[in-house]
Chain A
């Protein structure tokens, strides 16, 4: 694996290998000295064209705990506003001699273009409304820890699907791992031709959560709804959205006790998720954050620790 641009880049074996590696990285996190040597001497640049404290810090910690040198370059507002092309901005950074780029950009497809211009491995930390593969990996990791193997598991994702890169990556990765997904959103927040995606969809939340519409639910993922979508006319008011699609205390009680509730954060308490759900026993939100570091450590390890060429397979450690 040379780059991680999309959850679709990972087949079942590769995705499982990353999750297994993340398990071991996670175990290391609980030890006293959180420093491992495999990426010593490597330079990883977080090239963020879009603000993000949590994802950026997560990648930064992941790289540093593997002994890499991590540099944060905030390119927000550069290139376009200064008349510099994206290509020039990226090549300038890469020319300083970086071993890997972790890129977030507000335009879909930007990270793929960037990967065509540079030699080093590129990790997509979120491109527009397209994909966020490491988020899907940490979500799958969190679910796997709670539920065991994900085959046949039914995961429900609720929220602004149209504008969600988290939703797209999750649909791809969860189905790769054998789970099945149901997307729930009002019609205005469903992507065009979503019927062609490898998942079921519904405009109503209650029949799905109760199990009547698409079978028993094993996990629920609530997506953040941006209030700006109201000015775009996607739904009339916050309270109407909350009534139709929010994970209220009543709705959370429809779920079995062992059904985890996930949220990529940051949460709009009272809009898409109630405090009862966010803080209750089913909430896996903090586990997701921890998982984020472990998963990103695993991704950086798998991309950078080996020889320069892409690994053709898993090498047995000599006995």
Chain B
């Protein structure tokens, strides 16, 4: 099968034709006339390496009523992703090789994105004993990212052991930074004027910053890699900058929603805006954008968190934490970073594909668009606007905070190793069949 992309602009540069033969890019030239099975008229569309998400919740096994690996993969492909990391807080928890292999197999069966299972750091996410990190790394799932996300690895000794233990596997510990003594399970709103007025238990920024500070020192001490999930405050950015300046091997991610939304959205007590870590004030949003622009924050990761309506139809404090993110990520980041001139398309490609793939050691993804590389590509209409409609999203759930919002940049096509998973902005026919099953 061959695919010819005519007049596409790699990373927003000069338009060229790109020929895909089988699973790799075989030719890039100003004009290619070779025949092809599928021809896509690029018309100046931007060509990016397929997006890679370091942080997604696919809810299978355990909450298939909210999302399955198949529906989550569809959402990812439609969002321009070719690889996603599926977090371990499923039911049962992904803390053994058996479970991560099952998740990987289900991902292959759906065939829309490469699903990379994330393994738990501790058994049952309980923060007590190390999970079978080695067996998970050695399994067919090839786990390279370990995280207790949802919970913080709070115990300093456990965090140290984990950081040391993963070194032989070239894997990374991804920390959900939230000191449970400063921000407990009830904490649900940025601690500040609004939380005080609204009577919502506060989640102070220092609960995140203090854990990151401790972890970067541990990483320095053990000489290990550390990754920080969903950074949400300017204070955390300062700590990361300090650590990187001193050569600590730490990387960090930020969610699209933390780049665009602020905590005043909570004034109506709508749990649609309830997320962990919480939305913060404008000063933090600005600091996060600047950090993503200068690379202090390495990657955008969606933290896609589907929830059933009945888990959100509660009082704010009782409702579930989390927002959808896969299908809106590119649009939101475009608005927050490209629209504001903080990043260009090359920069966006770096933060949403190249670096995430490097952090997760995802072979074949996040590569430069050159002859011979695997054809994991995303075609984006930079001027296309669309309105987010929860009812038409591919996710089984509807909890998107961007409902009704007009976003820039539509994904027109997504290719996974040369095969179109998304064409004309919809799941490619054969792919759609598979998901329907």
Do A191 and B196 touch (CB < 8 A)?
Answer: yes
For the complex formed, measure the closest distance between the CB of B235 and the CB atoms of chain A, giving whole angstroms.
15
In whole angstroms, how far apart are the Cα atoms of A233 and B270 in the complex? 30
Whether A311 is near chain B, meaning CB under 8 Å from some CB there, is no
Do A85 and B313 touch (CB < 8 A)?
Answer: yes
Do A86 and B318 touch (CB < 8 A)?
Answer: yes
Whether A80 is near chain B, meaning CB under 8 Å from some CB there, is yes
Do B313 and A108 touch (CB < 8 A)?
Answer: no
Option from A80, A191, A194 in Cβ contact (under 8 Å) with B318: A80
Contacts of B313 in A (CB 8 A): 85-88
Option from A107, A131, A191 in Cβ contact (under 8 Å) with B316: A107
In whole angstroms, how far apart are the Cα atoms of A67 and B316 in the complex? 35
- Supposing A80-B314, A86-B313, A86-B314 touch, asked if A192 and B191 sit within 8 A by C-beta, the answer is yes
Smallest CB-CB separation from A114: which chain B residue? Answer: B315
Whether A202 is near chain B, meaning CB under 8 Å from some CB there, is no
Whether B246 is near chain A, meaning CB under 8 Å from some CB there, is no
Do A130 and B196 touch (CB < 8 A)?
Answer: no
In whole angstroms, how far apart are the Cα atoms of A127 and B200 in the complex? 11
Query: How many residues on B have C-beta within 8 angstroms of the other chain's C-beta atoms?
Result: 22
In whole angstroms, how far apart are the Cα atoms of A131 and B198 in the complex? 9
In whole angstroms, how far apart are the Cα atoms of A80 and B319 in the complex? 10
Whether B322 is near chain A, meaning CB under 8 Å from some CB there, is no
Interface residues on A, range: 20 to 34
Whether A200 is near chain B, meaning CB under 8 Å from some CB there, is no
Whether B269 is near chain A, meaning CB under 8 Å from some CB there, is yes
Whether B202 is near chain A, meaning CB under 8 Å from some CB there, is yes
In whole angstroms, how far apart are the Cα atoms of A109 and B270 in the complex? 9
Option from B191, B198, B200, B315 in Cβ contact (under 8 Å) with A113: B315
Q: Once A and B bind, how many residue pairs between them come within 8 Å at the CB atom?
A: 79
In whole angstroms, how far apart are the Cα atoms of A80 and B316 in the complex? 13
Do A192 and B196 touch (CB < 8 A)?
Answer: yes
In whole angstroms, how far apart are the Cα atoms of A113 and B202 in the complex? 20
Whether B192 is near chain A, meaning CB under 8 Å from some CB there, is yes
Smallest CB-CB separation from A108: which chain B residue? Answer: B199
For the complex formed, measure the closest distance between the CB of A83 and the CB atoms of chain B, giving whole angstroms.
8
Do A128 and B317 touch (CB < 8 A)?
Answer: yes
Whether A193 is near chain B, meaning CB under 8 Å from some CB there, is yes
In whole angstroms, how far apart are the Cα atoms of A193 and B263 in the complex? 15
Option from A105, A130, A197 in Cβ contact (under 8 Å) with B198: A130
- Supposing A86-B313, A108-B317 touch, asked if A196 and B268 sit within 8 A by C-beta, the answer is no
Whether B405 is near chain A, meaning CB under 8 Å from some CB there, is no
In whole angstroms, how far apart are the Cα atoms of A113 and B198 in the complex? 13
In whole angstroms, how far apart are the Cα atoms of A40 and B253 in the complex? 61
Do A192 and B192 touch (CB < 8 A)?
Answer: yes
In whole angstroms, how far apart are the Cα atoms of A89 and B285 in the complex? 37
Return the CB mask of A158-181 against B: 1 if under 8 Å, else 0.
Answer: 000010010010000000000000
Contacts of A113 in B (CB 8 A): 269-270, 315-316
Do B200 and A108 touch (CB < 8 A)?
Answer: yes
Return the CB mask of B239-273 against A: 1 if under 8 Å, else 0.
Answer: 00000000000000000000000000000111000
Contacts of B199 in A (CB 8 A): 108-109, 127-131, 165, 168
Do B193 and A107 touch (CB < 8 A)?
Answer: no
Q: Which residues of chain B from 287 to 320 have any CB-CB distance to chain A below 8 Å in the complex?
A: 309-311, 313-318
Q: Which residues of chain A from 127 to 149 have any CB-CB distance to chain B below 8 Å in the complex?
A: 127-131
Smallest CB-CB separation from B271: which chain A residue? Answer: A113
Contacts of A162 in B (CB 8 A): 196
Do A88 and B316 touch (CB < 8 A)?
Answer: no
Contacts of A130 in B (CB 8 A): 198-199
Option from B268, B270, B314 in Cβ contact (under 8 Å) with A79: B314
For the complex formed, measure the closest distance between the CB of A202 and the CB atoms of chain B, giving whole angstroms.
17
Whether B195 is near chain A, meaning CB under 8 Å from some CB there, is yes
Do B269 and A112 touch (CB < 8 A)?
Answer: yes
In whole angstroms, how far apart are the Cα atoms of A152 and B141 in the complex? 71
Do B268 and A112 touch (CB < 8 A)?
Answer: yes
Return the CB mask of B198-214 against A: 1 if under 8 Å, else 0.
Answer: 11101000000000000
In whole angstroms, how far apart are the Cα atoms of A191 and B194 in the complex? 10
Q: Which residues of chain B from 330 to 367 have any CB-CB distance to chain A below 8 Å in the complex?
A: none
For the complex formed, measure the closest distance between the CB of B199 and the CB atoms of chain A, giving whole angstroms.
3
Do B202 and A192 touch (CB < 8 A)?
Answer: yes
Whether A110 is near chain B, meaning CB under 8 Å from some CB there, is yes
Instruction: Write the residues of chain A forming the contact surface with B, with a CB cutoff of 8 angstroms.
Output: 79-80, 84-88, 105, 107-110, 112-113, 127-131, 162, 165, 168, 191-194, 196-197
7 closest A-B pairs (Cβ-Cβ)?
Answer: A109-B269, A110-B315, A107-B315, A130-B199, A191-B196, A193-B193, A108-B199
20 A-B pairs within 8 Å (CB atoms) are namely A80-B314, A84-B310, A85-B310, A85-B314, A86-B318, A88-B310, A105-B315, A107-B314, A107-B315, A107-B317, A108-B198, A109-B269, A128-B199, A128-B317, A130-B198, A130-B199, A168-B197, A192-B191, A193-B197, A194-B196
Given A85-B309, A108-B317, A192-B195: 4 more A-B contacts, CB < 8 Å: A86-B313, A109-B200, A168-B197, A194-B196
